[in-house]
Amino acid sequence: MTTAAPTERVDAGTVVGAMQASNEVKHEAAIAIGGIKAMPAVRAAAKKLGVDLTRVRPSGPDAVITMQDVKNAVASPPSLVATATIQAAIVTPPTTAAAHGAYATDPRSLAGKPVRTTPPTVNASGQPEPIRGVRRNMARIMAEAHAQVVPTMLCDDADLHAWAPGNDITARLIRAIVVACKAEPALNAWFDMANSTRTLHRRVDIGIAVDTPEGLFVPALRNADMLDAGRIREGVNRLRAQVEDRSIAADELKGYTISLSNFGMYAGRYATPVIVPPCVAIIAAGKGRHQLVPVMGGIETHKVLPLSLTFDHRAATGGEAARFLKAMLDDLARPS
């Protein structure tokens, strides 16, 4: 019996919907992705076996990872897996970026996202300076306050649309605080957790936060409940002047019963000011603005003043804080 010679297979050409047949040997090329060279079949096997190709030592020509490399990675403990590929993938940052302590980015990174290319051991440049004097004392007080107090914040906007010309914002804020302290004395108080005591104060001594380049000062405006608008302004100006020329007495920087931060003279709408024990509350006034307000029959533009009230929830309830803030809003809504 004669066996017929095998029929030579030739390229059938490209026919849509038909399987191509050819005697040509196809060579699959390795594809480099993210600096890792491997054939698609090798990548598929690595994914199935849970192998991270960035941790595999390539043994093929031109640093190509082979199927045997993947199998070796599965069998080898992590300590024996080479990290040469990872190190090769790290791009040396430009000298100018390193000199300025900045991280360089590669615009050709995957998915168009910036990639940090400077080693994480590179530290930002800068000259440390010791903290002394007022700023050091401020840091200590704030750290102690943060560790002791249980702060809670309420915020709202005071409508100043009815104000007559010539109103002093700081004087009106202080007057509103005095009115609120009388309406809800629980926030014009001191709290002593160690002895489980709360002291409600009859008089209102308001700590006025004064910002300086050296740090924060909080002098006390004594007997604010006894002062009219003119004397309030005189008192505030005197305290600021004494802080600026450092002539203020140490006793004037303590003993206040509640405090005010008028940070809105610079910028900002709401804040979470820090309560300094033994006080129970601090009020912060943000930057005033104009906004549209719905009224009967239409819409008007009113000037509003954002207020933030931080209170120590160990010593005061949410209801007491809300009533305090409501009393301030009502007083600030008055024409004068």
Question: What integer pLDDT is reported at residue 59 of this predicted model?
Answer: 87
Question: What integer pLDDT is reported at residue 87 of this predicted model?
Answer: 45
In contact, 273 and 289? CB cutoff 8 Å: no
Highest CATH level, class, for 150-332: alpha beta
> Cα 319 to chain center, whole Å?
29
Question: What integer pLDDT is reported at residue 279 of this predicted model?
Answer: 94
- Second CATH level (architecture) for the domain 33-100: Irregular (4.10)
Taking the domains of the chain in order of start, what are their residue ranges? Answer: 33-100, 150-332
Residues contacting 307, CB < 8 A, separation 6+: 155, 156, 157, 158, 283, 284, 285, 286, 325, 328, 329
Quickly tell me which residue has 């809105």 as its tokens.
264
Instruction: Please report which confidence band the pLDDT of residue 99 belongs to, taking 50, 70 and 90 as the band edges.
Output: very low
Q: What does the mean pLDDT of the chain come to? A: 81
Q: Which of 213, 219, 206, 223 is nearest to 247 (CA)?
A: 219
Q: What percent of the chain shows pLDDT beyond 70? A: 75
50-59, 153-162, 197-206: the lowest-pLDDT one: 50-59
pLDDT per residue as tens digits for the range 273-310: 888 899 999 999 999 999 999 888 899 999 999 999 99
Question: What integer pLDDT is reported at residue 90 of this predicted model?
Answer: 42
pLDDT per residue as tens digits for the range 109-119: 555 556 555 66
Question: What integer pLDDT is reported at residue 118 of this predicted model?
Answer: 60
pLDDT > 90? residue 238: yes
Give the Cα separation of 104 and 92 in Å (integer): 9
